[in-house]
Amino acid sequence: MRYAFDRAALAHILADGIKELKLDLNEKQHEQLLDYLALLFKWNSVYNLTSLRDPMQMVTLHVLDSLAAVAAFEGAQNVLDVGAGGGLPGIVLAIARPSMKVSLIDTVHKKTAFLTQVKAELELANVTVYTMKVQDLQVTQLFDVITSRAFADLSDFVNWSGHLLAEGGKFIALKGVAPPEEQERLPQEWKTTGLQPLRVPKLEAERHLVFIERSGQSI
All structural domains of the chain with their residue ranges: 7-214
**Strand order across the 78-82 sheet:** 127-131, 101-106, 78-82, 143-148, 165-175, 208-214, 190-197
**Can you tell me the distance from the alpha carbon of 198 to that of 172, in angstroms, rounded to the nearest whole number?**
13
**pLDDT digits 0-9 by tens, 19-41:** 999 999 999 999 999 999 999 99
d(CA 115, CA 127): 9
Beta strands in the chain (DSSP E): 78-82, 101-106, 127-131, 143-148, 165-175, 190-197, 208-214
Question: Which CATH architecture is the domain 7-214 placed in?
Answer: 3-Layer(aba) Sandwich (3.40)
The pLDDT value recorded for residue 182 is 86
Contact present, 19 and 25 (Cβ < 8 Å): no
Percent helix, percent strand, percent coil in the chain, to nearest 5? 40, 20, 35
For the whole model, what pTM was predicted? 0.95
Which pLDDT value is given to residue 46? 80
**15 within 8 A of 23, measured Cβ to Cβ:** no
pLDDT at res. 2: 83
Using CA atoms, how far apart are residues 142 and 159, in angstroms rounded to an integer? 16
Instruction: Please give the Cα distance from 118 to 157 (Å, whole number).
Output: 25
Q: How far is CA 112 from CA 48, 124, 142, in A?
A: 13, 15, 21
Q: Give the chain's residues under pLDDT 50.
A: 217-219
Taking only the tens place, the pLDDT of each residue in 52-93 is 899 999 999 999 999 999 999 999 999 999 999 999 999 999
pLDDT confidence of residue 126: 98
The SS3 assignment for 40 reads helix
pLDDT of amino acid 217: 43
pLDDT at residue 151, rounded to an integer? 81
